[in-house]
């Protein structure tokens, strides 16, 4: 996979490092996304997933991340006891592409996104991830629109917000 914005590549064009696919997920009562005033996705109770694809990410990262998110026990069976997954509660997922999860402030106040995958490669893996979630949930997963300016509204439940990174699997 090629890197975005001129990051160092090996002679054969492969990224010299891998950041890991990142997801910020929120447990929600409901969420929806619109592009240009037109709603593109809506869910009831479930997970709002902001997905970032990094330089060097592959389908194996998307497979692991999808499986991991669907198994997370962050829904309550009774007050104060989180022991059910989104599949256990028949919840839904809404996936929003977000390359800004790779923003680095290492060199100042203006974020650099040079560790995000190139748009074409990120879109391919984003679509693959959504297809994987849809297959595992056995229903379509609504999304925003890759590369577009989106308005996302959510009714957080908890709140419960987690960051999951395929290269920091023990975090």
The CATH number covering residue 158 comes to 3.50.80.10
User: Does the active-site annotation cover 26?
Assistant: no
Does residue 150 sit within a domain? yes
In our burial notation (b when 16+ CB lie closer than 10 A, e otherwise), range 25-45 reads bbbbebbbbbeeeeebbebeb
Annotated catalytic residue within 99, 129, 143, 146 = 99
| DSSP character string of the chain | -PBSTT--B-TTS-BSS----EEEEEEEEEEEEEETTEEEEEESSEEEEEEE-BTT--HHHHHHHHHHHHH---EEEETTEEEE-TTTTT-EEEEEE-GGGG-B-TTSSS-B-TTBBPHHHHHHHHHHHHHHHHHHHTS---B--TTS--EEEEEEEEEEEEEEETT-TT-
In a domain, 3, yes or no: no
The active-site residue out of 17, 100, 155, 161 is 100
Domain-embedded: residue 6: no
Indicate whether 17 belongs to any domain. no
Give how many domains the chain has, as a whole number: 1
Q: Are 42 and 50 in contact (CB under 8 A)?
A: no
Asked if residue 115 belongs to a domain, the reply is: yes
Active site residue 129: no
Question: How does pLDDT run along the chain (171 residues), one tens digit per residue?
Answer: 445 444 445 555 555 455 689 999 999 999 999 999 999 999 999 999 999 999 999 999 999 999 999 999 999 999 889 999 999 999 999 999 999 999 889 888 999 888 899 999 999 999 999 999 999 999 999 999 999 999 999 999 999 999 999 987 665
Q: Is residue 13 part of a domain?
A: no
Nearest one of 119, 111, 130 to 51, comparing CA atoms: 130
According to the model, what pLDDT value does residue 2 have? 46
Residue 75 bears catalytic tag: no
Looking at the domain assignment, is residue 168 inside a domain?
A: no
* Residue of 26, 50, 75, 98 marked active site: 98
Q: Provide the domain limits for residue 34.
A: 22-163
Whether 10 is covered by a domain: the verdict is: no
């Amino acid at each position: 996979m090629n890197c975005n914005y001129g990051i160092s590549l090996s002679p054969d064009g492969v990224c010299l490092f891998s950041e890991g696919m990142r997801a910020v997920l929120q447990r929600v009562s409901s969420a929806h996304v619109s592009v240009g005033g037109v709603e593109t996705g809506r869910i009831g109770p479930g997970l709002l997933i902001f997905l970032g694809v990094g330089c060097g990410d592959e389908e194996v990262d998307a497979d692991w991340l999808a499986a991991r998110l669907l198994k997370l026990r962050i829904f309550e069976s009774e007050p104060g006891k989180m022991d059910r997954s989104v599949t256990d509660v028949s919840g839904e997922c809404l996936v929003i592409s977000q390359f800004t999860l790779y923003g680095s402030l290492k060199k100042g106040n203006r974020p650099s996104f040079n560790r995000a995958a190139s748009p074409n490669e990120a879109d391919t893996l984003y679509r693959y991830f959504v297809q994987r979630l849809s297959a595992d949930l056995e229903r379509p997963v609504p999304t925003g629109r890759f590369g577009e300016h989106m308005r996302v509204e959510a009714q957080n439940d908890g709140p419960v917000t987690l960051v999951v990174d395929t290269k920091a699997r023990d975090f």
